[in-house]
Structure 1
Amino acid sequence: MRLYQALGLQAKEIITVVGAGGKTSALICLARELAAVGHRVVVAPTTKMLLSQLRQLAEPVITRDTASLAAGVAAGLKRENLVTCGSGITDQGKVAGLDAAGVAALADLDIDYLLLEGDGAAGALLKAPAGHEPVIPPVTTLVVTVAGLPVLGRPLSLPFVHRPRLAAGLLGREEGSLVTAHDVARLLAHPHGGRKGVPPAARWVVLLNQAESYTALQAGREIAGAILAAGDDGVITDVTAISFTGGTRTINRVVLGAVATPAPVRQVLLRQAVPPGPVGVIVLAAGAGERYGGDKQLLSIAGQPMVRRAVATALAAVPGNVVVVLGHEAGRVAAALGGLAVNIAYNPGYRRGLSTSLQAGLAALGPESRAALFVLADQPGVTPEVITKLAGAYRQEGKKIIAPVYQGRRGNPVLIDRALWPEILALQGDVGAREIIRAHPEEVLTVAVDCPGIVKDIDTPSDYQAWLEEKRGGAGKCGIW
């Protein structure tokens, strides 16, 4: 999945990127992605930006005259679809930012995206803005606030936090105290912190960068949950016990990323209308479908992509706590899920086997999840009733592994309690929950279901043809098989 897809970009956007912990890297990543797919992109600062950073994209057009700036950028776009610019060069080798007139002149050009860097952070991982920043033009349609997850556990001081005195004041904390997930969430959601200067009509997205380990992803998930639950006042009382009541939200998306790597997006979390419960559903949809010949997730099942059918089934049973793990053709598969209230986790190591997708899914679940129910995207015959029955058995029976059985055959999905997650995290290669089941037979509870879909995958073209023929012949049990 590409960063521009994770951010939910629309057509003809003016995007201002602010914050710390990889802000410039995010801007460069986004510009390159958009240009690579044929969009006309212009990049500029509104404060100051190192000349060397802009030169990573293109030699900038530099002039203080607004008309000359617009003419120079327009000429550059006739040669290339990615142009950088600024209003001057300072004695420190930085490119001076555009004023409101310069931004307006560029916005009037025939471009698709204007990307602006709206403040500086002196290489820190987290920041609090000074009085004069960020510089976000009112015409901005999307603000992206960036923070670096490695700030967790670091002192609230330089070089880790830019303007630590201001940050400490906003948080009511002492300078030098260790930064917690609660601190990061509160600072980013604060109207004088990460939300400062966001125009009323603009969308706002938080990018938590350097989310490359399971620990970082879990911390990012907690921070994201708190930010998404905060109201207009930015008040967050407890990062692990989020209230879903309160003021109007101004954010509906948080991205966990690693923008300096070949896999810049790791998770996309959306604001949920329903509070998550103790059972989280992980839909596994990362595979390349090699036995089928590719693009299996997008097969048409009853008029919709197979992956969308699986996710809709999960949402019908467990609204508010569904994660979809993507890998192969992640952008296309994510597009097929448009409009569904799910969190997306990207598994950059999906080619190393199923175990990596299980682990990516667990990292995407929040602390409220006491168990994970793994759903296979290539089992369109599974119904919401199966998922509901498994989750209910878990709550009532106290077993750590719950599996469905149809006419004596055990199938999927399978539910596994959090106590056994460390064993999943230790798996390697193309192995799945079956290994955990074998290791703990005393913890297995099988639940009889009247649904043959739990034992039928679509792995090959012949499987798909069998499904189509079954459908033409009339629905069987479960309405599918």
Structure 2
Amino acid sequence: MAMLLAQALGIQPDEGRPEVVAFTGAGGKSSALFRLTTELQAAGRRVVTTTTTRMAETQIRQAPAVVSAPAGELPEEALRRALDAHGQVLLIGRETIEQGPVHKRAGVAPHVVDRLAACAADLGLGAILVEADGSHMLPAKAPAEHEPVVPASTTLLVPVLGLDSVGQPLAAGRLHRPEIMRRLLNLPDDDSARLTPEQAARLLLHPAGGDKGRVQGTRRIFLLNKADTSPRRAVGRLMADALTASGAESMLTHLQTEGDYPVNSRHGPVAAVILAAGESARMGRPKQLLTLAGVPLVVRAVETALAGGADWVAVVLGAYQAEVTAALADYGLLHTERVDIVHNPRWPSGQASSVAAGLAHIVRRGSPSGSSPDLPLTESAGEFPWEFTRMEGTTRAAVFLPVDQPFAPAWLLRGLIRLWEGGAGLAAPRANGELRGAPALFDRAYWPELIKLTGDVGGRGLLRRHADLVASITLDAERLRDWDCPDDVVVL
């Protein structure tokens, strides 16, 4: 599978509140900027592209319309006319700069981009895309004191790195500003070292490296470009895993090659939500504490989720909370960074309230302040906060797993996550030709819809509503068998 750049970036264009996307780094910034412009315009969005540094005349000629801005000014009426005529426009400065045979134009000041964002509603803008860095056409860089030039209005920072930089010597002409790279990476001050995948990931995460210029609260997704060969894709996967382990989002792209879908895969933290709050009325005793091969079902569910590739697990509890918590403690699953206990005080209202409680905790865990937005957790869910989709550090997707499916294999969860990495927004198992409702994965783009569920339902209705968009994995129905009443219990 592969996907569009806008999808992988989670772009949420909204007229009047546009995404302001700043591309920094090296190895594909301009390609990403123009590709994203094309995708958004094809989706009917009005887009302004610009730079806060410099842009080559050859790149400027790619734009269907160009508006030149006097220094420090925003030519609003000229932009409006160009947008009405073309739907997209490149905003550039008037100063011409010659760098040898290359002719460039100066960009606009970052405060001009901020003013543009402020008047976006009047212009009907869906997105503002900014090339906010320079790299001398090299595949990787470390920023100098004055770089990057990121506008304060930025909502999404996209640091770019070309995968062809890995294996290159940290030397002038190969990588941009290698002396700064060596200092940031604590490497010897000579040209002998070659950039490794681990070092490249550290460079991207360094506050004076790829993370430089990011304002707290701004989303960040690393773009690992030129994943156009098997060796480079393998290197990219190593880097993506390292970035995910640090809580960062990333993607592998091949922006320089022809094709409709330039993103190979996306990566980022994926949570598992164990739904374990029910009363087990038909069972007559707590299902959470029933054992299979001597292990309580709630423990099996957590262990399956972790073995299945979840970066962390939220266990939603309600009835029997004290007893279930004690069982998790007996197996050393409390007080770890990868397992959280979530109390759902509204558990009697049905499974939908546990889904909402799990989502609220995911958002709370990912917010910079550690506090949750006003998520509606009543039976009438109301509106999911628009700002959530642009929140820094939020988990990208969630797998929901009922506690009473003890035979669900870890490989199934891992497969659902792989489908998501390849572009699926929804993923679920299929048994006997029928799409099943659990375990199921939901990309965060679907969470506003998921949290509106009410009563004793999970995500099955949403999956059926979008059945043509659900990626699936086929397996034996026995692996999805749930323990609902005493006759279902298997003794091993």
Q: Aligning the two structures, in what range does the TM-score lie when normalised by the shorter sequence?
A: 0.5 to 0.7
Q: CA 1:148 to 1:213, structure 2 compared with 1: closer, same or farther past 3 Å? A: same
Query: What SS does the aligned partner of 2:135 have?
Result: coil
Query: What SS does the aligned partner of 1:115 have?
Result: strand
In structure 2, the residue matched to 1:140 is: 154
Cα separation, 2, equivalents of 1:323 and 1:210: 26
Q: CA 1:94 to 1:30, structure 2 compared with 1: closer, same or farther past 3 Å? A: same
Residue type matched to 1:148 in 2?
Answer: G
Query: 2:251 matched to 1:255?
Result: yes
Cα separation, 1, equivalents of 2:181 and 2:65: 35
In structure 1, the residue matched to 2:221 is: 205
Query: 2:101 matched to 1:89?
Result: no
In structure 2, the residue matched to 1:268 is: 266
Superposed displacement of residue 252, structure 1: 3.9
Superposed displacement of residue 172, structure 1: 1.1
In structure 2, the residue matched to 1:44 is: 50
Residue type matched to 1:52 in 2?
Answer: T
Superposed displacement of residue 211, structure 1: 1.3
Cα separation, 2, equivalents of 1:148 and 1:140: 23
Is the Cα contact below 8 Å between 1:380 and 1:453 reproduced in 2? no
Query: What SS does the aligned partner of 1:126 have?
Result: coil
Cα separation, 2, equivalents of 1:5 and 1:87: 30
Cα separation, 1, equivalents of 2:436 and 2:126: 42
1:8 equivalent among 4, 7, 10 = 10
Residue type matched to 1:173 in 2?
Answer: L
2:245 equivalent among 213, 221, 229 = 229
Is the Cα contact below 8 Å between 2:64 and 2:86 reproduced in 1? no
1:173 equivalent among 165, 187, 192 = 187
Question: What are the equivalent positions in structure 2 for 1:373-384 lying under 5 Å apart?
Answer: 380=435
Cα separation, 1, equivalents of 2:219 and 2:180: 25
Query: 2:104 matched to 1:106?
Result: no
Cα separation, 1, equivalents of 2:304 and 2:197: 19
Identity %: 33
Residue type matched to 1:199 in 2?
Answer: V
1:80 equivalent among 86, 91, 98 = 86
Residue type matched to 2:31 in 1?
Answer: S
Is the Cα contact below 8 Å between 1:17 and 1:143 reproduced in 2? yes
Residue type matched to 1:50 in 2?
Answer: A
In structure 1, the residue matched to 2:203 is: 187
Unaligned ranges ≥5, structure 1 = 231-250, 283-302, 304-309, 341-374, 385-448, 456-475
More relative contact order, 1 or 2 (CA 8 Å, 6+ apart)? 2
Superposed displacement of residue 104, structure 1: 2.5
Q: CA 1:90 to 1:280, structure 2 compared with 1: closer, same or farther past 3 Å? A: same
In structure 1, the residue matched to 2:281 is: none
Per the normalisation by structure 1, the TM-score is: 0.57
In structure 1, the residue matched to 2:75 is: 69
Is the Cα contact below 8 Å between 1:281 and 1:323 reproduced in 2? no
Q: CA 1:212 to 1:281, structure 2 compared with 1: closer, same or farther past 3 Å? A: farther
In structure 1, the residue matched to 2:369 is: none
Q: CA-atom RMSD, angstroms?
A: 3.9
Cα separation, 1, equivalents of 2:430 and 2:309: 10
Residue type matched to 1:144 in 2?
Answer: V
Query: What SS does the aligned partner of 1:185 have?
Result: helix
Is the Cα contact below 8 Å between 1:73 and 1:83 reproduced in 2? yes
Superposed displacement of residue 221, structure 1: 1.8
Cα separation, 2, equivalents of 1:23 and 1:454: 46
Is the Cα contact below 8 Å between 1:210 and 1:259 reproduced in 2? yes
